[in-house]
Amino acid sequence: MSDALTMEALARLVPVGSRVLDLGCGDGAMLDHLQRTRACTGYGIEIDDANVLACVQRGVNVIQLNLDEGLALFGDQSFDVVLQIDTLQHLRNAETMLRETARVGRIGIVAFPNFAHWPNRLSVLLGRMPVTRRLPYQWYDTPNIRVGTLADFDALARKNGLLIQDAFGLEQGRVLRWMPNARASTAVFVFTR
């Protein structure tokens, strides 16, 4: 999900000048973008060696941590924004981390592949797990251990008492607000405590 339009659509959700914590920051491209175009500061969290190296190469602050160990390093409401972009689907403790995201950040922004996107539904209807551009893995080797939908996340957020400030779909960088759960391959939520 690194294409420029998607990144820009997500970056627009981040207030200018925010202090940002990017959970699962990958190669640091998003933080770099936020620092250059929106005067943000902050840190990325990554577990992968190559991604940590890429962040240091870019000059993006990165902290090598396993998110499944939690966010004990970070104080309550110590960031303006906590991002989880294509991270949630890799977490064993996705629910805990959702609460942690809301604890550490004043605003939480989560984006993840929406399993209810119509090509996925069609595939399952035909009896096979989907393999798409957005979910390019076979069922037996996917790193996405959590598959959910816009509607699922909505329910999880409410269960945890989070206030959803905005929710929409993203399809090839375009924001979809009409029937996003069927029409968008990416789900996006903005929430607060």
Q: Does 61 bind another protein (CB under 8 A)?
A: yes
**How many chain residues touch another protein (CB under 8 A)?**
18
Q: How far is the CB of 107 from another protein (least distance, A)?
A: 18
Q: What distance, in Å, lies between the first and last C-alpha atoms of the chain?
A: 27
- Among 8-16, 48-56, 124-132, 138-146, the segment contacting another protein (CB under 8 A): 48-56
Q: Does 103 bind another protein (CB under 8 A)?
A: no
Give the count of beta carbons closer than 10 Å to the beta carbon of residue 87.
22
Q: How far is the CB of 29 from another protein (least distance, A)?
A: 15
- Among 55-63, 80-88, 123-131, 167-175, the segment contacting another protein (CB under 8 A): 55-63
How many whole angstroms separate alpha carbon 2 and alpha carbon 51? Answer: 14
Which ranges in 39-90 belong to alpha helices (H)?
49-58
Q: Does 142 bind another protein (CB under 8 A)?
A: no
Q: Does 67 bind another protein (CB under 8 A)?
A: no
CB 110 within 8 A of CB 101: yes
Rg (CA), the chain: 16
Q: Does 30 bind another protein (CB under 8 A)?
A: no
Q: Does 77 bind another protein (CB under 8 A)?
A: no
| Cα angle 39-45-51, degrees, rounded to a multiple of 5 | 95
Nearer to another protein, 55 or 116 (CB): 55
Give the count of beta carbons closer than 10 Å to the beta carbon of residue 126.
8
- β-pair type (105-113, 163-171): unpaired
How many whole angstroms separate alpha carbon 117 and alpha carbon 108? Answer: 23
Q: How far is the CB of 96 from another protein (least distance, A)?
A: 19
Interaction site with another protein (CB under 8 A): 19, 43, 49, 52-53, 55-57, 59, 61-65, 73-75, 78
